[in-house]
Amino acid sequence: LSSDSTVSCATCHDPKKGLTDQSKTSFGISNNKGPVNAPTVMNSAYNLLQFWDGRASSLEDQSQGPPQNALEMFDGKGHAWNNLVGRVRKKGDYTRKFVEAFGCEPNRDVIAKAIAQYERT
């Protein structure tokens, strides 16, 4: 999902590593070092708040943060979410799958819902 297609959610939330990256601090786009590590998304459906500082009140809210964060996934060019939606719509048969699952083409809202639903499982 990153601007340069080098960082996905699973880059920092790796299923093989307990849905985290097991690093002291996580790295994002252009090998930018973040200030904290990626928390596991395992059982995140049961968290009252999301992110280490609790700034997101839902998984849908949380899922919208990293794609627009310059240290994590955004290269600073254009509008982070408009660009991301365009990339998702060009990715294989994702548009068809989003229409089947959500009744519409990929947009910011349903992409956030899809990520949140994945995190819940």
- Complete DSSP assignment for the chain: --TTS---HHHHSBGGGTSB---SS-B-GGGPBPSSPPPP-TTGGG-SSBSTT--BSSHHHHHTSGGG-TTTT--SSS-HHHHHHHHHHHSTTHHHHHHHHHSS---HHHHHHHHHHHHH-
The one catalytic residue among 60, 72, 100, 105 = 72
72 is catalytic: yes
Q: Which of the residues are catalytic?
A: 72
